[in-house]
Structure 1
Amino acid sequence: MEKEKWTAGARSKPRRSPVRIPECDNSALIVANKLTLIGRVTNPVIQKPRAVVEFLSQLWNMENKTHGRDLGSEKFIFRFEEEEDLLAVLRKGPYHYKKWMLIIQRWEPIVSEAFPAIIPFWIKNTWYSSTPLLRPNSPYNWDGT
């Protein structure tokens, strides 16, 4: 059996130069979303964004003060009329739905599939002790002393 020779086909078209995307002014977009929260479910199999929007509107008791909608399989958005309402919602967090955490952040003009990705936690110390909880040379000390 003879070896076939490879022959060069027709020359391909020359490559085009990259397309430049012009700078755009996002200031109107930033102002329009100033009072917006964006959220993400942590378990999309169990947590459906449309149900989360309905649940949170009722939980916050703000059905007439905010407009929420789902943005697909994992994300949702809430637009508020008043800054005070938005801040009150953030102060009362974090939130969960069907035993799974919800990630809720203030809208930011960033482009990332991972946004939102932060769950802030507030820890309140309800006791104070002047006695150290761990003794020197205890096997439970975290620093090995």
Structure 2
Amino acid sequence: MADLLHKSLKSMSIEDEEEPLTLPDSLRFRVFDENSTSILGRLLNPDCQSMARMIEYMPTAWQVCGRVRGIALSRDRFQFVFEREEDLQTVLNDRPWSYNHWAMVLER
């Protein structure tokens, strides 16, 4: 099997023998770009921290209203997608953050 693999590799060429491969404009490839300005987070005491209220409140605390979108991923995990890299960096630089007197974890 190793000999067959070696022969196959030797027969490969980077010359213009074949048409170039064009990747489709698929959502699968765009998702990385869309999430490049996002943070993931976790509420450390979800019994005392309402996810919906936190997602509504934090853009105000961060002073980025209208430039960020919050998404509840589970009972204690969330994502915020920012429109601007500068806003995301400001939020991360001003850590730690808390909501309803309990800490929350934020990570890019």
Common fold by TM > 0.5: yes
Q: Which runs of 5+ in 1 are unaligned?
A: 1-25, 107-145
Q: Is the 8 A contact 1:48 1:74 kept in 2?
A: no
Gaps of 5+ in 2: 1-27
Residue matched to 2:87: 85
Aligned pair count?
82
- Cα deviation 1:83-131 (Å, max 9, x = unaligned): 111001101111011221100111xxxxxxxxxxxxxxxxxxxxxxxxx
The reply on whether 1:40 has 2:3 as its aligned counterpart is no
Give the letter for the 2:107 counterpart: Q
What TM-score, normalized to structure 2? Answer: 0.69
Query: 1:50, 1:69 within 8 Å by CA — same for their partners in 2?
Result: no
**1:79: how far off?**
0.7
**Matches of 1:94 and 1:27, distance apart in 2:** 32
Runs of 4+ in structure 1 displaced over 6 angstroms? none
Cα distance in 1 for partners of 2:30, 2:67 equals: 22
Counterpart Cα distance in 2 of 1:64 and 1:28: 23
Q: For residue 93 of structure 1, give the secondary structure of its aligned residue in structure 2.
A: coil
**Greater relative contact order: 1 or 2 (C-alpha under 8 angstroms, separation 6 or more)?**
2
* Residue of structure 1 in register with 2:62 after alignment: 60
User: Percent sequence identity over matched residues?
Assistant: 30
- With normalisation by structure 1, the TM-score equals 0.52
